[in-house]
Structure 1
Amino acid sequence: MNQTKTPSRRYFLGSALRATAAGTLAIGSGSALASIPSSRGLSFNHLHTNERISLVYAVGDNFLPQSITRLNTFLRDHYSGIVGTMDPGLFDLLYRVRQALGTSQSFDVISGYRSPVTNNTLRNTRGGGVAKKSLHMEGKAIDVRLPGVPLAELRDAAKSLEGGGVGYYPDSQFVHIDTGRVRSW
């Protein structure tokens, strides 16, 4: 008598994690990835390009290379189109901010990666407010807001995590979050 054993849920999840770590699980199966308890995902609306993205970027201790590449492209310098390399730790920090606020709302992106040329141009044309050694140029900073969440609450949540720098810009309606040293302004 030939018995076929049905794989257990634990076996299935283990296989999915191994495939993910190997980069063989397609990004298109985001709902499958999102169902894995240790998955982390984010959603963004880019206010300058009118693009939207929602994806799982990590499972357990593993960042998903295809997702990180898609996020790098999404958060490119919107002035020049240059794609930088974002710090995956920044995505974890944003994920933790959303958890602290108890929301799954998409972040509105004002600025992600910024090329050195763009940064210098903005410094010379904006009358200040753009740092000479901005962490945007290193892919370690993002300017965001969360619709439906008061800006001061977003700032306070980011500060409470002590994951890096937090800048508060109520007149421009955004919070700067970075993975540099812990500081606030």
Structure 2
Amino acid sequence: MTNHSSLSMTRRGVLGAFASTALLATPTYSKAAGFLRGAGDIRRIRMTSPRTGEKLDTIYWIDGNYIKDAVKEINLFMRDWRTNGVKNIDLRTIDIMAASHNLLDVHEPYMLLSGYRSPQTNAMLRRRSRGVAKNSRHMIGEAADLRLASRSVNQMYSAAVACRGGGVGKYSGSNFVHMDCGPVRSWGR
């Protein structure tokens, strides 16, 4: 498995890679302008995984286009670490995560607690906790549970809610925030 901590590139290097990389078409979302206001012409995501020890720091979008290879890296990084199952993570979820991170004005990477979950993993977690949804958006690659050491759950929650891009759950007792690209809603204490 590749350690993603060595993924630092200059803007020139990224633009060179961009020119030679096949790009995905940019999807259109009705609320994109609202939750990505001020995101700029480059979108970046930084994460660590306490479960695998991996780190990810990648620019995944430049000038209106998703970078196919960067999105594949994100999908692999956000896999179900229990089964090694990989699912395409919905690009809207990645965008919500990146926009929230930008609003928090922090350079610290997110700690990814849960990205994609296989149905088996989700069922096991449901048996252990009432807080796990039977039809969790994690199982379809539309959700992430995240933590930052330098920001409180309330700060992260407020930033994600401000994006108005999907569902945001505050789990203060477990010290994480859930972000997904489903209907705009919020919950938690």
Shorter-chain TM-score bucket reads 0.7 to 0.9
- Counterparts of 1:60 and 1:107 in 2: how far apart (Å)? 24
- Counterparts of 1:111 and 1:20 in 2: how far apart (Å)? 32
Please tell me the residue identity of whatever aligns with 1:88: L
The residue correspondences of 1:22-171 to structure 2 (distance < 5 A) are 22=22, 38-124=41-127, 126-171=128-173
Could you say if the C-alpha distance between residues 151 and 18 of structure 1 is closer, same or farther in structure 2, counting changes exceeding 3 Å? closer
Please tell me the residue identity of whatever aligns with 1:73: L
Give yes or no for contact 2:126–2:134 (8 Å, CA) kept in 1. yes
CA-to-aligned-CA distance 1:138-185 (integer Å, 9 cap, x gap): 111000012211110100110111110011111111000000001111
Deviation at 1:123, TM superposition (A): 1.1
CA-to-aligned-CA distance 1:102-156 (integer Å, 9 cap, x gap): 12220011000001111112112x1311101100011110000122111101001
Could you say if the C-alpha distance between residues 57 and 97 of structure 1 is closer, same or farther in structure 2, counting changes exceeding 3 Å? same
Counterpart for residue 33 of structure 2: none
Counterpart secondary structure, 2:177? strand
Larger radius of gyration: 1
Structure with the bigger RCO (C-alpha within 8 Å, sep 6+) is: 2
CA-to-aligned-CA distance 1:58-92 (integer Å, 9 cap, x gap): 11211111011111111100111111110111111
User: Structure 2 length normalisation: TM-score?
Assistant: 0.78
**4+ long deviations beyond 4 Å:** 15-18
Q: What are structure 2's unaligned runs of at least 5 residues?
A: 1-11, 24-39
Please tell me the residue identity of whatever aligns with 1:144: L
User: Structure 1 length normalisation: TM-score?
Assistant: 0.80
- Counterparts of 1:18 and 1:99 in 2: how far apart (Å)? 22
Say what the alpha-carbon RMSD is for the aligned residues. 2.0
Counterpart for residue 181 of structure 2: 179
- Counterparts of 1:151 and 1:18 in 2: how far apart (Å)? 35
Counterpart secondary structure, 2:145? strand
- Counterparts of 1:122 and 1:111 in 2: how far apart (Å)? 11
Aligned length: 159
Counterpart secondary structure, 1:171? helix
Could you say if the C-alpha distance between residues 22 and 183 of structure 1 is closer, same or farther in structure 2, counting changes exceeding 3 Å? same
